Structures are given as C-alpha cells and as structure tokens.
C-alpha cells in the first residue's frame, strides 16, 4: 500500500484531506474545534488555518453558541456530490493503511470488513474481529488511527475464538448475516469457514 494517503496527495496536506473527509463522513453533525483535532489526530495550528480556508469557500459553516464555535458541513456546497464520491472511493479497501496493523494486535483468526470500508450502506457493522490474547491497548490505538484515517467512527465487534464458534453453532443472525453479505477478508485462519458460508448460500 502507498505510504501517502491519496486524498493528501490531491488536496496537498494531511490537515485539509482529513478535514474534508471528516465533514463529508459526518454530514449531519456539528463539532467544536477540540473534537475535530482529537478525532482526526491533527495539530491545532495547521488545522485552525485549514478550517478558515474551508470556511472561506463555504465548504463548512460556523455557528456560535454560548461563546463556542461549532463547525458543520455545508450540504449546499456546489461540489459536495463530487467530493463525497471522491471520499468514498478513497476510503474503500485496500486504501486504508491501518487495517494491516490489526494483524499484530494478538492471535488473530479472522478479520473481515464491510460497511464503510466497501461503501456498503446496508451493513449492520463495519468489521468483525476474532482472536485470542488480544492487546486491548493496541486495538484502541489501531482503531483510533483507523477512524482518523477514514474520518468516521468504526462499528466493530470483537470476539474470542470460543465465542465465535458458539455463535456460529447457534446460527447467530448477526454473524451469519455479516459473512453472507458483501465483505472483504483481511485475515481468515478458520478452516472451512468459506465452505460453510458458501453452502448456506446454495
């Protein structure tokens, strides 16, 4: 995978790329400055400057309430549809670099992605992780980076191998629905899983 984010190349800076992606991925929400910095893992000075640039072209709007500045996407921005399509394509697997780091958070048996990673809006989750001896600290760190990378909170489910086997044996609707729907595999070390799912689709 490339070391530099595609949108960073297009927009010329990490701050601008992440801000554009972030607001488009969260079109109905409003944010204060500290939230924007934290969620996108950006530096204050450069981010403030880029926010001002985006305000000038009316890509985002600013509201002042109780002495605080709130920022949100301008849904009437002339190039919103085109930028939204660009962001969606840029977020599609395999452009998300941090996904590879999930392989190193423990004894991973299965990592499957859907939802935001493949632009599947009907998905009930973005990711299922199955493994043992998972480092919760490493998981938090990777998820924080991944969410900053794609500009949106990731809805994921973490299970041990025993829990996964139990849920499969019980024909858990969520797990089976995820695996039978559109998804991509990052890791699959579970013998026969593909065959089980393929047979259910017949």
pLDDT at 2 (0 to 100): 42
Start-end ranges of CATH 3.30.460 in the chain? 97-201
Assigned CATH topology for domain 97-201: Beta Polymerase; domain 2 (3.30.460)
Q: Angle 33-40/136-150 helices, nearest 10 degrees?
A: 110
Evaluate if residue 27 carries a pLDDT over 80. yes
| pLDDT confidence tier of residue 1, bands split at 50, 70 and 90 | very low
Read off the pTM: 0.85
Provide the H-helix boundaries in the chain. Answer: 6-11, 14-25, 33-40, 44-56, 80-91, 136-150, 161-169, 173-180, 193-201
Task: Return all residues near 79 (Cβ < 8 A) that are at least 6 apart.
Answer: none
Confidence band, pLDDT 50/70/90 cuts, at residue 95: confident
Lowest mean pLDDT across 55-59, 120-124, 128-132:
120-124
pLDDT digits (tens, 9 = 90+) for 150-199: 999 999 999 999 999 999 999 999 999 999 999 999 999 999 998 888 88
For the chain, give every residue range classified as CATH 1.10.10.10.
6-91
Phi/psi of residue 190, each to 5°? -95, 110
Other beta carbons within 10 Å of 181: 14
Q: Is the pLDDT of residue 47 over 70?
A: yes
pLDDT class for 90, splitting at 50, 70, 90?
A: confident
Bridge partners of residue 137, in order along the sequence = none
More confident site: 97 or 65 = 65
Q: How confident is the model at residue 8 (pLDDT cuts 50, 70, 90)?
A: confident
Tokens of 153: 């909170």
pLDDT at 176: 95
Classify domain 6-91 at the CATH class level. Answer: mainly alpha
Q: What is the mean pLDDT of residues 57-73?
A: 95
Q: Residue 61 in 3-state DSSP?
A: strand
Task: Report the percentage of the chain scoring pLDDT > 70.
Answer: 97
């Amino acid at each position: 995978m490339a070391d530099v984010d595609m949108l960073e190349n297009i927009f010329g800076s990490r701050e601008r790329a992440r801000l554009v992606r972030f607001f488009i991925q969260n079109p109905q929400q409003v944010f204060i400055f500290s939230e924007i910095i934290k969620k996108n893992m950006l530096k204050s000075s450069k981010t403030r400057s880029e926010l001002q640039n985006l305000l000038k072209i009316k890509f985002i709007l600013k509201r002042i309430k109780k002495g605080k500045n709130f920022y949100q996407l301008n849904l009437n921005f002339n190039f919103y549809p085109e930028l939204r399509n660009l962001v969606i394509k840029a977020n599609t697997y395999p452009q998300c670099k941090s996904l590879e780091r999930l392989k190193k958070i423990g004894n991973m048996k299965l990592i499957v992605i859907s939802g935001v990673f493949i632009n599947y809006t009907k998905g009930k989750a973005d990711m299922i992780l199955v493994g043992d001896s998972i480092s919760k600290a490493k998981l938090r760190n990777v998820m924080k980076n991944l969410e900053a990378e794609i500009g949106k909170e990731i809805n994921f489910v973490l299970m041990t191998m025993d829990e996964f086997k139990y849920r499969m044996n019980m024909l858990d609707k969520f797990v089976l629905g995820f695996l039978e729907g559109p998804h991509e595999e990052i890791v699959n070390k579970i013998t026969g899983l593909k065959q089980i799912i393929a047979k259910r689709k017949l």
